Chains A and B, each alone.
Chain A
């Protein structure tokens, strides 16, 4: 190989260390470009692969448009998951250690649906997140917020026959990163989801209502339409809040699929 590999942790800091106001200007300018393409009728994905305010994307996004193809054969199915794959207790992130984790206990629940509103049953949802202090347990996260010995921050669930899932966890804190000077991510939970066909695979992030960091964050803003960004904000639901126990949020997830996925699901167990 001609190119030596860099140590992964050295890649985390963007070389130019722009100011926050420069990043916000770049976000606005790129949104204006994408809005103009929308207005011109161009077929754009919800998330821009080319979003330079997110500095580490500069050399990692394709420059050519993806080829539009009809999904075929294996792509019309999804790996099969069930209770054999995930234990029920894996959906409670507060029970993984001897003691109680610190922070605001919360639940997040919702439905996994396809583009026609049909529930996606028996599919895998994986989540991971920072602790209440905004620190990830990953060894490459070295910022000086405390680790919590009673919190790992990873969970799994399999959707039930109605496409429903539920996690109990601790509300994550905002997280500082090195995209630019004084960069902070809005609090978020990473979600990884399988649909009924492999083309519906989705990895995304759930945010919390009213976060003051939204306008400053190039990752959240790699989605240029407000309506699409709003879909990633969990909804506080007092009916899901348990007295003297945990606040409750709702986060429904819709997996996209080509028209061909409409039929495949019917015969799929």
Chain B
């Protein structure tokens, strides 16, 4: 790989999404990355919590994930869903109980690596975005070899690996602060 030249442009800083993002960022079927109940579609849901353990009712979470075969979705059309094209991208607002939910597919590992959804959290009261990952549980060998996961304590690791639900979906809570604070990422 040839060398990366030095950056020439200073990055534009982020700001909070504020309290009133809903009418600006909402689009139809935004949380339906996969059409509900279509083959391979699962529910990925969870709660976003603050440092006092209270649910955050004005947060939003975005996910971007590979298709079930590990391929990276390159199709357009997330904002005008046709109910069959898989764009991999979804956006969900938390409800008054701090809960979010997606219909999506379970990503396959890319190149034999552990599979995860890339996720970003925004909220009123959160001055800038937070990146994290939501790993799919089950493939213990791939998870054990993952560079990020191996650098974490078991307690930290649990904050970025989803839990399988009885009906085959995934549950994943995100804690912005406090005990069991989710591991967030910088690149």
Contact = CB atoms under 8 A, between A and B. Distances in A.
21 contacts: A7-B96, A8-B57, A11-B124, A46-B14, A47-B15, A49-B128, A57-B16, A67-B148, A69-B186, A82-B76, A85-B76, A141-B19, A190-B15, A192-B17, A219-B18, A222-B16, A222-B127, A232-B13, A232-B15, A254-B10, A262-B5
A140 B12 contact: no
A133 to B, nearest CB: 15
Q: Which of A57, A124, A199 has the most CB of B within 10 A?
A: A57
Interface in B152-187: 152, 176-178, 181-187
Contact of A59 (B52, B77, B97): B52
A217 B134 CA distance: 34
Assign chain A's interface to a size class.
35 or more
Given A70-B147, A79-B87, A222-B128, 9 more contacts: A3-B53, A11-B57, A74-B64, A81-B78, A115-B11, A202-B12, A203-B15, A204-B13, A256-B11
Interface in A150-190: 152-154, 156, 177, 190
A254 B116 CA distance: 27
Interface string A73-98: 11101111110111000000000000
Interface stretch (A17-25, A223-231, A241-249): A223-231
Contact of A201 (B120, B152, B183): B120
A141 B23 CA distance: 12
Interface in A200-219: 201-205, 219
Given A47-B15, A67-B151, A263 B64 contact: no
B41 interface: no
Contact of B127 (A12, A61, A64): A61
Given A8-B58, A74-B66, A140-B19, A48 B25 contact: no
Contact of A116 (B5, B16, B72, B74): B5
Contacts of B68: none
A149 to B, nearest CB: 15
Contacts of A6: 54, 57
Contact of A85 (B9, B12, B79, B98): B79
Interface of B: 1, 4-5, 7-25, 47, 49-58, 62, 64-66, 72-80, 87-89, 96-98, 107, 110-111, 113, 116-118, 120, 122-131, 147-148, 151-152, 176-178, 181-187
A153 B108 CA distance: 39
A51 B117 CA distance: 29
A232 B16 CA distance: 13
A33 to B, nearest CB: 15
A236 interface: no
A117 interface: yes
Q: Which of B21, B118, B182 has the most CB of A within 10 A?
A: B118
B72 A64 contact: no
A6 to B, nearest CB: 7
Contacts of A64: 181, 183-184
Nearest to B120: A201
A150 to B, nearest CB: 15
A66 B186 contact: yes
Nearest to B88: A79
B79 A86 contact: yes
Contacts of A124: 79
A153 B12 CA distance: 23
B40 to A, nearest CB: 17
Contacts of A45: 128, 186
Contact of B10 (A58, A127, A199, A227): A227
Nearest to A201: B120
